[in-house]
Amino acid sequence: MKRSNESRIFRGSLISLCLSLVLLPLMIYLREIGIYIQFGTPPPFIGHKLIEYILIVNVVISLCFIIKSRSLKSIMVLAGVFVLLARSIFYSFPNPLWETEVTTLVSPDNSFKYIVVETGVGHLYKLSESGLYMTFITTLRTDDGYQPFANDAYKIDWLSSEQFVILYAFDVSSEEMDKEVTISIE
């Protein structure tokens, strides 16, 4: 009985490890080309960073079930913590000083949805029809973490469903919308 349970745990851990080792590089590759996997439509949603962190934790846990040596398990846990901390620092984990604000923009004919995620800097994404991924379009820079979309200091001039102009205030003291970004999706 004990042998069969160990065998099942070993097989489950091995399958989990293999899946994570396939999905993690795939997600990193997709992120590098500007496609972000997510579950659900913002807000609330499970974003690509959280999914990547879960996969990293899954690799560490699976390896801990597969490896028998306690010292190697300790090294795996430390390596996992190091990787998570390094990713948080080097790949811009949202700054805790700024809250994340999400604004949804819908084209006039309701054929496309765009998402602006503001965490000190605004990022514009095109949301897929399924809502399972979003494609990065551009960064909307502001002064000192100002969030014009959260503060309703923006205007959209729609030229078509995939072409529009965003006017927004650069900082809190702006009397007018002094920044302009033209978006054209091919």
- In this model, does residue 164 exceed pLDDT 60? yes
- In this model, does residue 55 exceed pLDDT 80? yes
- In this model, does residue 94 exceed pLDDT 80? no
Query: Which of 39-43, 115-119, 145-149 is least confident?
Result: 39-43
> 110 and 176: one domain?
yes
> 22 and 81: one domain?
yes
H/E stretch holding 137: strand 133-140
Mean pLDDT along residues 44-68: 83
More confident residue, 125 or 144: 125
Domain stop point among 90, 115, 146? 90
What is the count of structural domains for the chain? 2
Domain stop point among 90, 122, 157? 90
> 111 and 49: one domain?
no
> 129 and 167: one domain?
yes
Residue 153: which domain range?
Answer: 101-184
Question: Could you write out the DSSP letters of every residue in 53-119?
Answer: HHHHHHHHHHHHHH---HHHHHHHHHHHHHHHHHHHHHTTPPPTTS--EEEEEE-TTSS-EEEEEES
Range ranked top by mean pLDDT from 82-91, 138-147, 151-160? 151-160
Burial label for 170, CB within 10 Å (0-12, 13-18, 19+), is: middle
> 127 and 86: one domain?
no
Give the model's confidence band at 18: pLDDT under 50 very low, under 70 low, under 90 confident, else very high: very high
> 33 and 61: one domain?
yes
The percentage of residues in the chain with a pLDDT greater than 70, rounded to a whole number, is: 88
At residue 46, the pLDDT reads 66
96 part of a folded domain = no
At residue 121, the pLDDT reads 82
- In this model, does residue 97 exceed pLDDT 50? no
Domain stop point among 90, 113, 144? 90
95 part of a folded domain = no
Q: Is the pTM of this model over 0.85?
A: no
